[in-house]
Amino acid sequence: MSKKINDPNPEEIIHIDFESFSDAERILFQKAAEIEEEWQKTGKEEILLKNAELLLKPSEIIFRRITELYCYVATTLLAGGQNKEIVDYYFRLHFYNFEADLSECLAHVRTRSEEDNEEFLSDLKQNGAFFFRLPRGYSVKEVNDLINSKDLGKQEEKEEK
């Protein structure tokens, strides 16, 4: 185990045992691999488009499995022998709200132009990331509208009064 933890190649740190998946999941993974292999042989995009939903399923399954493992380990450690049910409740409440908020933010990013995203990345590289807690009760759209508003200073003055 310590050998894997000290491995400088991050792709080698975590291995998911194929045998740990259910028979149905393994069949799905094999079918997705066959479709991908067919696409690689033919280069026909129709194969990918026709099977897009099936091709995404293995990633969804692995993501769900990793999320379940993370939530279990995090809550077990955070509970520290205390009432794990209460820790589970609060952790899952905030964790799944975080996932929903992040998904909404990324959907917003996908609507922006490539130029806007490049400008954003340039600003991040130049100024670094600012970490702050979003106020509760605001949607991501409202926060983005406020950030992009030319009246940001005026809004802050209103809130101070």
Write the pLDDT tens digit of every residue in 21-45.
Answer: 899 999 999 999 999 999 999 989 9
* Cα–Cα distance, 4 to 14 (Å, whole number): 8
Contact 37, 51 (CB under 8 A): no
Contact, 95 vs 71, CB < 8 A?
A: yes
* Cβ-Cβ contacts under 8 Å for 45 (sequence gap 6 or more): 39
pLDDT digits (tens, 9 = 90+) for 80-125: 888 899 999 999 988 998 999 899 889 988 999 999 999 989 988 9
pLDDT at residue 127 in the model: 85
Which tokens in the block code for residue 13?
């740190």
Give 41-106 as a DSSP string.
HH--HHHHHHTHHHHHHHHHHHHHHHHHHHHHHHHHHHHTTS-HHHHHHHHHHHHHHHHHHHHHHH
By three-state DSSP, how is residue 40 classified?
A: helix
In the numeric block, which tokens belong to residue 68?
């379940």
- The residue that leads in pLDDT, 58 or 135, is 58
| DSSP, res 112 | S
Write down the pTM of the prediction: 0.61
pLDDT tens by residue, 80-92:
888 899 999 999 9
Residues 6+ apart with CB under 8 A from 112: 120
* Cα-Cα end-to-end distance for the chain: 58
Question: Domain boundaries in the chain?
Answer: 1-82
Q: In this predicted structure, which of 3-17, 80-94, 121-135 has the lowest mean pLDDT?
A: 3-17
Q: CB count, 10 Å around CB of 75?
A: 19
